[in-house]
Amino acid sequence: MPLLETAAVRLLRRLDPETAHGLAIAALRAGLGPRGGPETSSRLRTRLAGLDLPNPVGLAAGFDKNAEALPGLLAAGFGFVEAGAVTPLPQPGNDRPRVFRLPEAEAVINRFGFNNDGATAVASRLAARRPGGIVGLNLGANKHSADRAADFARVLRVCGPHVDFATVNVSSPNTAGLRDLQGQAMAPLLEGVLAAREDLPRRIPVFLKIAPDLDDAQIAQIAAAALAAPVDGIIATNTTIARDGLTGRHAAQAGGLSGRPLFARSTRVLARLFVETGAAMPLIGVGGIGSADDAWAKIEAGATAVQLYTALGFRGLSLVGQIARGLDARLSREGLDGVADAVGRAAQRWAAT
C-alpha cells in the first residue's frame, strides 16, 4: 500500500465508520483517489452476461449507495462498479450507530437498512455521468412499502436507462422480511422486474443477489427460479447473520457480517450454485475477498467475476489493482488464456465442504 494511502486508511479508521465512509466518498468525488484506471490484459478481459469487462474485479453494492463517486471509483481500477441499493422513495435507514468494525477479524457488521436518496435523485446522477466504464445498480425495496416485490421494478424503470446492469437484492438482512422474497415469492418478483426491463431503451443484464445463509434445498430452489425466469446471472453472496467463531467487542451486534469470516460460507454457496445451474449462467463471487488468492478461489469455485467491499476499508483502494495483477500473473503461470478457463475448476470440492 502506498505511504499516502496507508496514512489515509489509518486516519479514517480512527473515525466512526460511517463518518469515515462519508469522507472516503467525498474524497473520491473530489478526484483524490487513485487515477490509473483499470488493470487490463488479454487474459483479464472478461465477458460477463454480454458485458465486456477490462478485468473481472468489481465493486460490490453498498459502497456508493447514491452513485456519487462513480468516476473516481472507475479510475481506481475496478472492472465494473455497482451502485445502490436504491429504493423507489428516499429513506433514512436504521438508527445510528449502524456499522461496526471488527479489525481483529477484518470484518464489518452493518445494519444500514437501505438508507439512500431514492430512485429519482440517483437516476439524475447516473444520467449526468460521463460515458465510460461498466456501472450497475442494486435494486431495493422500501421498508414500509405495501408491495415490496413491485418496488424492484419501479427502481428499474426510473434508473434502468442509465446503467449497464441491474441487481435484484432480496438478500439484505437489514430490512425485516426482505429475505422471505427468496422463497415462493421470487418467481413473480423476477417476472415483474424482467417485464420492466422490456420497457427500457436497451436490454441490460439483470442479476439476482442471494444470501449466504441458505441450505442446499434453498440453493437448489433459487437456482431453479433463476434459470426459469431467466435472469442473466447470480451474485453470491450478500452479508451473513451467522456469527460462527466470531469474537470481539462488536461481535454480538445485530446486522449483516461481511469481510474475512464470510469467505468460506459464501464460497460454498457460490460453488453449490455453479453445480445446481450446471454452469448455465454466470456467477459473481462476493464475500471475504482480500487478496488475489481469494479472488482466484472464487473463480475456481464458479465465479466469472468477483466483487470487493469490506477489505477496501482495511487495505485501501490499491488492493483493486493488486488483485487484478495477481489474477493476471496466476493465469499466465497456469498457461490459461483467460478467466473463463479457470471458472468452476474446484466447484465440486467447494460444494462438498
pLDDT band at 103 (very low <50, low <70, confident <90, very high): very high
Beta bridge mates, 208: 168, 234
pLDDT band at 51 (very low <50, low <70, confident <90, very high): very high
Grid cell at residue 104: 481483529
Average pLDDT over residues 19-43: 94
Domains of the chain with bracketed CATH: 3-351 (3.20.20.70)
Average pLDDT over residues 72-92: 97
CA torsion sign for 308, 282, 165, 180 is negative
> Residues 168, 252: contact at Cβ < 8 Å?
no
Whether 10 has a pLDDT exceeding 90, the answer reads no
Q: pLDDT, tens digit, for every residue of 255-272?
A: 999 999 999 999 999 999
Q: What is d(CA 203, CA 194) in angstroms, rounded to the nearest whole number?
A: 10
Q: What is d(CA 254, CA 334) in angstroms, rounded to the nearest whole number?
A: 43
pLDDT band at 326 (very low <50, low <70, confident <90, very high): very high
Residues 6 or more apart whose Cβ sits within 8 Å of residue 106: 259, 260, 290, 310, 311, 314
Average pLDDT over residues 51-77: 97
Whether 136 has a pLDDT exceeding 80, the answer reads yes
Average pLDDT over residues 216-235: 95
Whether 178 has a pLDDT exceeding 70, the answer reads no
Closest residue by Cα to residue 295 from 257, 246, 244, 329: 329
Whether 187 has a pLDDT exceeding 70, the answer reads yes
Planar angle of CA 298, 302, 308, nearest 5 degrees? 35
Q: What is the set of active-site residues?
A: 172
Whether 175 has a pLDDT exceeding 70, the answer reads no
The per-residue pLDDT for 174 is 58
pLDDT band at 325 (very low <50, low <70, confident <90, very high): very high
Whether 176 has a pLDDT exceeding 70, the answer reads no
Average pLDDT over residues 233-244: 96
